[in-house]
Chain A
Amino acid sequence: MKAFTKLDARMAPLTMANIDTDQIIPKQFLKTVEREGLGKGLFYDFRFDEQGVEKADFVLNRAEYKGAGVLVAGDNFGCGSSREHAPWALLDFGISCVISSSFADIFYNNCFQNGLLPVVLKPEEVQALMEEAKGGNHVVTVDLEAQTVVSPSGAAFSFQIDPQRKAKMLQGLDAIGETLTAAMDIDVYESKRALSEPWLERA
Chain B
Amino acid sequence: MSGKTLYDKIWDAHVVAEQDGEAILYIDLHLIHEVTTPQAFAGLRAAGRPVRRPDRTLAVADHNVPTEGQALGVGAVADEEARLQLQTLERNVKEAGIEFFPMGDIRNGIVHVVGPEQGRTQPGMTIVCGDSHTSTHGAFGALAQGIGTSEVEHVLATQTLRQKKSKNLRVTVNGTPGPGVGAKDFALAIVGAIGTAGGTGSVIEYAGEAIRGLSMEGRMTLCNLAIEAGARAGLVAPDQTTFDYMMGRPATPKGAAWEMALAHWKTFFSDDDAVFDREVVLDAADIAPTVTWGTSPEDVVAVTGNVPAPESFATPDKRISAERALDYMGLTAGQPISEAKVDVVFIGSCTNSRIEDLRSAAAVAQHAFLNGRLVAPHVRAMVVPGSGLVKEQAEEEGLDAIFKAVGFDWREPGCSMCLGMNPDRLAPGERCASTSNRNFEGRQGRGGRTHLMSPAMAAAAAIAGHIVDVREMLK
Contacts and interface: CB of A to CB of B under 8 A. Distances in A.
Interface of A: 15-18, 20, 22-23, 26-28, 30-35, 45, 50, 74-76, 79-84, 87, 102, 104-106, 109-110, 113-114, 162-164, 167, 175-176, 178-183, 185-186, 189-190, 193, 196-202
Interface in B228-258: 230, 232, 251, 253, 257-258
B132 A18 contact: no
Given A17-B321, A50-B428, A102-B197, A82 B146 contact: yes
A33 B324 contact: no
Given A23-B441, A190-B159, A201-B55, 13 more contacts: A17-B318, A31-B84, A31-B85, A33-B38, A82-B147, A83-B35, A84-B39, A106-B232, A163-B21, A185-B16, A186-B159, A189-B26, A199-B260
A45 to B, nearest CB: 5
B19 A22 contact: no
B205 interface: no
Contact of A76 (B26, B196, B442): B196
B24 A182 contact: yes
Contacts, number: 181
A106 B35 CA distance: 16
Interface string B391-429: 000000000000000000000000000011100000010
B360 interface: no
B16 A79 contact: no
A70 to B, nearest CB: 20
B438 interface: yes
A196 B150 CA distance: 30
Contact of B20 (A113, A164, A199): A164
A82 B130 contact: yes
B402 to A, nearest CB: 31
Nearest first, the 6 A-B pairs at minimum CB distance are: A113-B150, A31-B81, A84-B148, A199-B253, A33-B38, A110-B148
B42, B55, B230, B440 interface centre (most CB from chain A within 10 Å): B440
B443 interface: yes
Interface residues of B, number: 74
B249 to A, nearest CB: 13
B8 interface: no
Contacts of B153: 176
B150 A84 contact: yes
B150 A110 contact: yes
Contacts of B82: 31
Contacts of B447: 50
A195 B178 CA distance: 47
B26 A182 contact: no
A197 B252 CA distance: 12
A109 B128 CA distance: 14
B16, B26, B159, B264 interface centre (most CB from chain A within 10 Å): B16
B157 A26 contact: no
A41 B279 CA distance: 40
A105 B232 contact: yes
Contacts of A20: 438, 440
Contacts of A27: 419-421, 443
Given A105-B232, A175-B154, A33 B36 contact: no
A35 B132 contact: no
A179 B19 contact: yes
